[in-house]
Structure 1
Amino acid sequence: MSTTFATIDWRGRAVRIECEWIAPERGDAPLVVFLHEGLGSVAMWKDFPAQLCAAGGFRGLVFSRPGYGRSTPRDADETWDVDFMHRQAHEVLPPLFDALGIAEAPWLFGHSDGGSIALLHAARFADKIAGLVVLAPHIFVEDKTVANIELARSAYLDTDLPQKLGRYHDDPDSAFWGWNRIWLHPPFRHWNIEAELEGIRCPVLAIQGEDDAYGTLQQIRGIASRVPPTQLLELPDCGHSPHRDQPQAVIDATVSFIHNRRHP
């Protein structure tokens, strides 16, 4: 794996994006782009992207969104709006792909907020995405999601969570508060992207754990009702991070999904 940085112009300033390539020498292999969760980063994925790419013979791109990992942190007074995931999908991904010279249609592999961003990007740029694998994505806001994000806020204030996140982010306050404040902002309770999903034209594999503390199975079932024929994988004994709780099941399903859709 090789780490590099790309610079994009976003919100009127230059933003540096931390990127890591996996097996770039596999020139003709499908490219899988990994989009992390609300507190994720390149480092937070650990070795899962490499394992998946090795199993499928894929190339991979892992990156940290603005405000995360080693990417440019948020300004101290910068707050995110209710449309923050739309902005990531519509305003960050296209210039990032341009800066990295990605002209092909990649496969997007997104977890949690990253899954929602993948869905939004595919809905807007339908002809530029080969397919989607989304793990525990959000398509609307549920009470249990907000309740557990409130618990995370208490943990950040009262425990060593900032030090733990500091292993994965240059500025853990930037990563945590950007995510936490918008999810707990009262107007965000009305955030809903169900209608936008109907713009998706590529194949979709939606995966969720039956024990997900941050959402019910209505999230991925809602995708299937809007984007037929979405393939669903509901995993027992699995929480909000299927790639950590059930990595082999996720790898097997993803490899089969991409190869079968690439060579029907």
Structure 2
Amino acid sequence: MATELARIPFDGRQIDIEFAWLRAERTERPLLVFLHEGLGSVSMWRDYPRQLCEAGDLRGLVLSRYGYGQSTPRPHDEKWGVDFMHRQAREALPALFDVLEIGAGRRHGVPWLFGHSDGGSIALICAASAPAMVAGLIVLAPHIVVEEVSVRSIAATRDLYRQTDLRARLARHHADVDSAFWGWNDIWLDPAFRAWDLRPLLADLRCPVLAVQGEDDEYGTMAQIEGIHRYAPHAALLKLARCGHSPHRDQPERLTEAAVAFISTHT
């Protein structure tokens, strides 16, 4: 899909964020903002955002976070802190919404957030921290705590990046693939990150939430979405058989059906 760049203030400087609109002419329909996983980008969603928006007659906004895709790369000597997802949710995303006129009383209205993995965690933080910014959430394989299975799989991914063609395959999706990979990998494998925990925030969720997890997810267990429901009992859960960490790739039809029904119910 064709993308543009939006310039936003972040961390004391101006950075560019890659984005693409889907079905922007459907101004009366809900807007779904797609937030990618730890190694994702606009292009790594492939065609799923368009398929979902067409199935639900929705508008879409797909973006690459700072350090990913064609957005401003992370300088190689810049180390992300344990709060990197909180900063994306509380600083970078609101700044982008300001530039693109998204929000209450603005051109594009209050959006739904559709987040995968780290993007799902960012969506949860955003909705809990600023309830007026978000109409609803659909989160795929979100993280609310750091599990041992996540750390093992991320360490294994580091080995693949060093020893296989994974780097070359990811390079097709990022202006600076080492910036994208090591920014994510280094902080997730930092011992300090073991204390990262979203559970204290979850009781502040007010919007509709659909949390989705694959039964074969190699990066997390059902404890992640069950934890969301424990602290936010109104959250609906979808557990998918024969599905790994990426429900939109492993079970796209089932996910689309559930997402469209959920948005329709709460719109």
Instruction: Give TM-score scaled by structure 2 length.
Output: 0.97
**1:2, distance to aligned residue in structure 2 (A):** 4.4
- 1:205 touches 1:257 (CA, 8 Å); kept in 2? yes
**What is the CA deviation profile of residues 47-92 of structure 1, one whole-angstrom value per residue up to 9, with x for unaligned ones?**
0000000000000000000000000000121110000000000010
Displaced runs of 4+ in structure 1, greater than 3 A? none
Q: Distance in 1 between matches of 2:76 and 2:164?
A: 22
- 1:3 touches 1:20 (CA, 8 Å); kept in 2? yes
User: Which residue pairs with 1:158 in the alignment?
Assistant: 163
Give me the CA root mean square deviation: 0.7
**What is the CA deviation profile of residues 73-122 of structure 1, one whole-angstrom value per residue up to 9, with x for unaligned ones?**
00121110000000000010000000111122100000000000000000
User: Which residue pairs with 2:232 in the alignment?
Assistant: 227
Q: Distance in 2 between matches of 1:189 and 1:82?
A: 9
User: Which residue pairs with 1:171 in the alignment?
Assistant: 176
**What is the CA deviation profile of residues 191-243 of structure 1, one whole-angstrom value per residue up to 9, with x for unaligned ones?**
11101111110000000000000000010000011112111000000000000
Aligned residues: 262
Instruction: Give TM-score scaled by structure 1 length.
Output: 0.98
Q: Distance in 1 between matches of 2:185 and 2:2?
A: 31
- 1:37 touches 1:112 (CA, 8 Å); kept in 2? yes
Q: Distance in 2 between matches of 1:213 and 1:75?
A: 29
User: Which residue pairs with 2:112 in the alignment?
Assistant: 107
- Which stretches in structure 2 are left out of the alignment for 5+ residues? 104-108
- Which stretches in structure 1 are left out of the alignment for 5+ residues? none
User: Which residue pairs with 2:30 in the alignment?
Assistant: 30
User: Which residue pairs with 2:15 in the alignment?
Assistant: 15
User: Which residue pairs with 1:126 in the alignment?
Assistant: 131
**What is the CA deviation profile of residues 3-35 of structure 1, one whole-angstrom value per residue up to 9, with x for unaligned ones?**
211000111111000001000000100000000
Partner amino acid for 1:124? S
| Cα 1:2/1:167, change in 2 over 3 Å | closer
Identity of aligned residues (%): 59
User: Which residue pairs with 2:79 in the alignment?
Assistant: 79
